[in-house]
Amino acid sequence: MPKLFDENLGTASNSTELSRLKKKFSYYDPSYVALSTMITRSDFRKWMEDAWQQYEPYADTNFPNEFKRQFA
């Protein structure tokens, strides 16, 4: 099963680092980059991956890719 947060985009521990990563990965939704990289969000990432395991059988095959671009 594909993961929602399968790429290592780096880590951000403050707003300056997060801004740099949002610019570097501008082809992804800014909220996705924030959630993927903020060191304070690991619990939420795990919760989303757990929810994804339940939803994945019903999802469109392109869902993981579009999730990164259209996070909201």
Q: Would residue 26 count as lying in a domain?
A: yes
- Cβ burial of 53 (10 Å; 0-12, 13-18, 19+) is exposed
Total domains, the chain: 1
pTM reported for the whole predicted model: 0.90
Provide block-wise average pLDDT over 10 residues at a time, the chain (72 residues): 91 97 97 96 95 96 94 88
Asked whether 11 and 37 are in contact (CB, 8 A), the reply is yes
33 within a domain of the structure (yes/no): yes
Quote the domain boundaries for residue 26: 15-69
User: Which amino acid would we find at residue 63?
Assistant: F
- Domain membership flag for residue 23: yes
**What is the reported pLDDT for 1?**
79
